[in-house]
Amino acid sequence: MPYTPHGLHLIAGDRVAGPGTFLSEPVDGPAHAFAVGTEDLVDRAARAAEQAFWTFGWTSRQDRAALLRAIADRIEARAAAITRIGCAETGLPPARLNGERGRTTGQLRLFADHILAGDYLDRRHDPALPDRQPVPRPDIRLIQRPVGPVAVFGASNFPLAFSTAGGDTAAALAAGCPVVVKGHSAHPGTAEIVAEAIAEAITACGLPPGVFSLIQGGNRRVGEALVTHPLIRAVGFTGSLAGGRALFDLCAARPDPIPFFGELGSVNPMFLLPSAMAARGAQIAQGWSASLTLGAGQFCTNPGIAVVLADQAQALAQATVAALQAVGAQAMLTEGIARAYVQGRDRIAGARGVQSLLTQVCDRRQATAQLFQVAGRDWLADHALGEEVFAPWA
């Protein structure tokens, strides 16, 4: 059956409203209202996570593995509903959502197997040497321990594998760390249904409800409050370079700095050597086009820059333009991302020395590929040309 979001936060097992709401921006179907996060909700979730930590952090590996598998099972039980709402919110095709769901549940079960093996504990024992000279050595034992509550930020372009129950959440729970997720406003309904699966698994496993909370987006101050909260002990983030850098700086500026585990956006330059271009230039252009347009270019591995010798640039450009023209318009994850694409395109097109090789019309959230060319000296002289444009662009 279709899933109708309730639009509330999930704080330590409780559905909680907020002082305001924001609307989702689905590609297809009706928009839904979701509660906006607040600093007070961050505090409530962090305190619940800290309280749960003193039980959850000392559970057995078998208990935590059972939780991870229970989450995976409950996500799979909601498979059709997750795919339906995920496709509606993001515009990603069903095959992509189904594959990503499989990756998500696979990660959860992988971490369950990993912790049961016990190698991650990195146990070390240096026995005492009471007769050592010039001073005795005491008995020294080392073992990995959970650090405490972890904040996880949902990614815009991976509503499942890098969001509510993604790799960061799975790793933290496997280690015995409660998790507070800040949902991404690109797919709040998808975050909600997955959060319900996690909460159900926690209850079934008899664990404290504070082990997991979801605070929906809609307010940047929520993210700032989360990474600066004194009870949060680590942060996991997948997203833009600018957003990640801002959060990293907040983590580092705390009175007690905490680790920031970030996977940030990049332009991923390719350096095409003369022999490779001579041997398979046409195939390189085809492969590049496919990578640029994969998922409407909304991957952090999108190869947005190709560096090639001047005498081989024209052949590469012609072959790439032909390949890109064969790709139709694709839905961007949000209208905001689509607007940023148009702004980035216009900024690049107006830069010194930039030649437009392929400029197609973008209709609101529907994006088409763009291709520009610039001499190496002009590119090196303008740092802005090396900034990421999150889209099918190069």
Angle, CA of 327, 331 and 333, to the nearest 5°: 135
In whole angstroms, what is the distance from residue 251 CA to residue 261 CA?
A: 10
DSSP summary character for residue 36: P
- Please give the helix or strand (H or E) that residue 153 lies within, else none: strand 150-153
- Give the start-end residues of each E strand in the chain: 9-11, 14-16, 21-23, 33-35, 124-126, 140-142, 150-153, 179-182, 212-215, 234-239, 260-264, 270-271, 306-307, 330-331, 355-358, 366-367, 371-373
Of 159, 158, 151, 156, which is closest to residue 182 (Cα–Cα)?
151
In whole angstroms, what is the distance from residue 348 CA to residue 28 CA?
A: 31
Q: How many residues does the chain have?
A: 394
Is residue 95 packed enough to be buried (19+ CB in 10 Å), middle (13-18) or exposed (0-12)?
Answer: exposed
In whole angstroms, what is the distance from residue 365 CA to residue 298 CA?
A: 13
387 a catalytic residue: no
Beta bridge partners of 21: 35
Widest pairwise Cα distance in the chain: 80
Q: Contact, 172 vs 236, CB < 8 A?
A: yes
In whole angstroms, what is the distance from residue 389 CA to residue 159 CA?
A: 20
Q: Exactly one of 87, 177, 251, 300 is catalytic; which is it?
A: 300
- Which residues are CB-contacts of 153 (< 8 A; sequence separation ≥ 6)? 181, 182, 184, 223, 235, 236, 237, 238, 239, 247
Beta bridge partners of 367: 330
87 a catalytic residue: no
Beta bridge partners of 151: 180, 235
Joined tokens for residue 255: 């009175």
Q: Exactly one of 25, 76, 263, 387 is catalytic; which is it?
A: 263
Residues annotated catalytic, as ranges: 263, 300
